[in-house]
Amino acid sequence: MPLSKVVLLSFITLITMVNPLAVIPSFVALTDGVSRAGRARVALVASMACIAVLTIFLVAGNWVFQFFGITVPAFQIMGGIIFFTNALRTLVEHDERRAYNIGGEKRMEDHDVEKAEIDPSSIAVVPLAVPMLSGPGAITSTMLLVNLYPRMEHKAAVILAIVGVGAVSYVTLLAALPLSRFIGDRGRAVFTKVMALLLGAIGVQFMINGLKPVLVEIIRGAS
């Protein structure tokens, strides 16, 4: 597969899971009263921490699989189920009732945020980078990409996609205040629904990819 296609597919998969637009309300609430320079520093540290976390799981993914004795099809099927169910939940639930991101973990709402009177950069890694940007959904996606693209040049392409996701997250958080005013709650809801639709399709494809070798093995064993 061409490296450009690996970068593009990996970027689309990861950006739907990270979904930086969904972090905007919490970012605005957490950095309320912070100077523009302080918000820029928080956005930079959060995006860099997101890149670091996803890259670590990309590099260590094969070791995790070997340690727990997990096969690639098993992880693909389970990951596909998680993606699909979380996407379905996002598509059918009312925005007012719950605030889940498309990775399945609960987003912090404004009233859940405690504004700490400490260095603003202290909130950049937790909770912004982990678990809000690089949460369980994004980490699961990275683990799947490890085995979809096992060659070293492919892994380098995935890392490039991760850096791209981090860059988009940085720009999004940097522009959080004007974006929040521009797109509003309805705009964020529409974007989340579209991302959830893409995530559901990715989940179905992962399940198909995981079931294929299993079904082939069953057919061979029966013949």
**What pLDDT shows up at residue 119?**
59
Task: Enumerate the domain spans of the chain.
Answer: 3-222
**What pLDDT shows up at residue 55?**
95
- Cis link prior to 213 (omega < 30° from 0)? no
**What pLDDT shows up at residue 94?**
52
- At 135 the three-state DSSP class reads coil
- Cis link prior to 127 (omega < 30° from 0)? yes
Residue 213 and residue 111: Cα distance in Å, rounded?
47
**What pLDDT shows up at residue 48?**
96
**What pLDDT shows up at residue 166?**
97
**What pLDDT shows up at residue 121?**
60
* 194 CB-near residues (< 8 Å, 6+ apart): none
- Can you give the pLDDT of all 223 residues of the chain as single tens digits? 789 999 999 999 899 889 898 888 778 878 877 888 999 999 999 999 999 999 999 998 778 778 888 777 887 787 788 778 877 887 886 544 444 444 444 444 444 444 444 455 678 988 889 888 997 778 888 988 887 888 899 999 999 999 999 999 999 999 988 887 787 777 777 777 877 787 788 788 878 988 998 898 888 888 7
Residue 23: CB atoms within 10 Å: 24
Question: Full-prediction pTM beyond 0.75?
Answer: no
**What pLDDT shows up at residue 96?**
44
b/e per residue 105-115 (b: at least 16 CB within 10 A): eebbeeeebee
In the block, residue with structure tokens 């093995």: 217
Residue 54 and residue 135: Cα distance in Å, rounded?
9
In the block, residue with structure tokens 């850096």: 163
Distances (CA, A) of 30 to 38, 70, 89, 116, 169: 11, 39, 26, 8, 16
